[in-house]
């Protein structure tokens, strides 16, 4: 079964070339994690309409990298925002499980009218707290945090500064995590990933 993954958009600096890039960490995660052993990652190209991929996918991950265009306006972030917003619409309409990681969580939150703010000390390991008060150590690599969720989303984890580190949609199979599950310390808390994967298998 394929899980589609959106890629980072980068501009090569030695000569002009726009590139799509997916960190090798994603391949390692799918190859070595028992949680994902039933799935193959399928990197999504921005040059193909998502509708062409949809029939081959069991779920979609919106990966990290690049700020949202509203915070760092440029052609690449604009292109990525437009593509990922279309994915969110398809996943809502067709009940396709969707997981946002870091930037992916930010664009899902933004799509559902959440409030994001510039943040400090979110580019290092830090602790997150669930709604039962349990604490976990995770990685962190973002400059913007979710301050308040839109009415369709429910918070699941918070940072120590009370910004929102994880959430889910109240009705759809849509989750957002601000830490990177594919990097070191990314699976210290894996109940949400398990829950999302179970929604795919169902």
The radius of gyration computed from the CA coordinates of the chain, to the nearest angstrom, equals: 16
Task: Give residue-wise pLDDT tens across range 70-90.
Answer: 999 999 999 999 999 999 999
Tokens of 195: 């829950």
| Residue 120 predicted with pLDDT over 80 | no
The per-residue b/e assignment along 104-139, b for 16 or more CB within 10 angstroms, e otherwise, is: bbbbbbbbbebebeebeebeeebebebeeeeebebb
Question: Which sign does the torsion angle of CA 133, 139, 145, 149 carry?
Answer: negative
165 as an active site residue: the answer is no
Determine the pLDDT at residue 55.
94
Worst-scoring range by mean pLDDT, 9-23, 97-111, 117-131? 117-131
The structure's pTM equals 0.96
Say if strands 144-148 and 2-5 run parallel, antiparallel, or are unpaired. unpaired
Residue 138 Cα distances to 38, 102, 158, 189, 190, angstroms: 25, 12, 12, 8, 11
Domain boundaries, the chain: 2-201
**100 band by pLDDT with thresholds 50, 70 and 90:** very high
Q: Which CATH class is domain 2-201?
A: alpha beta
Q: How many alpha carbons lie under 13 Å from residue 156 in its C-beta half-sphere?
A: 19
Task: Give residue-wise pLDDT tens across range 52-74.
Answer: 999 999 999 999 988 899 999 99
Average pLDDT over every residue of 175-188: 95
142 as an active site residue: the answer is no
Q: From the candidates 122, 142, 180, 189, give the one annotated as an active-site residue.
A: 180
| Residue 122 predicted with pLDDT over 70 | no
Q: From the candidates 84, 165, 182, 189, give the one annotated as an active-site residue.
A: 182
Q: From the candidates 102, 119, 165, 189, give the one annotated as an active-site residue.
A: 102
180 as an active site residue: the answer is yes
């Amino acid at each position: 079964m394929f899980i589609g993954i959106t890629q980072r958009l980068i501009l090569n600096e030695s000569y002009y070339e726009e590139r799509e890039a997916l960190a090798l960490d994603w391949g390692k995660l799918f190859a070595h994690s028992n949680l994902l052993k039933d799935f193959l990652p399928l990197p999504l190209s921005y040059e193909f309409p998502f509708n062409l991929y949809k029939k081959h996918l069991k779920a979609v991950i919106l990966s990290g990298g690049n700020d949202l265009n509203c915070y760092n306006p440029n052609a690449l972030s604009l292109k990525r925002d437009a593509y990922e917003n279309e994915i969110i619409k398809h996943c809502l309409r067709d009940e396709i499980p969707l997981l946002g990681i870091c930037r992916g969580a930010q664009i899902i939150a933004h799509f559902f009218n959440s409030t994001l703010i510039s943040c400090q000390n979110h580019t290092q390991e830090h602790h997150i707290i669930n709604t039962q008060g349990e604490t976990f150590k995770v990685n962190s690599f973002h400059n913007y945090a979710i301050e308040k969720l839109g009415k369709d989303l429910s918070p699941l984890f918070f940072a120590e500064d009370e910004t929102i580190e994880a959430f889910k949609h109240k009705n759809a199979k849509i989750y957002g995590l601000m830490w990177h599950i594919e990097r070191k310390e990314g699976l210290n808390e894996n109940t949400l990933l398990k829950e999302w994967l179970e929604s795919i298998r169902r």
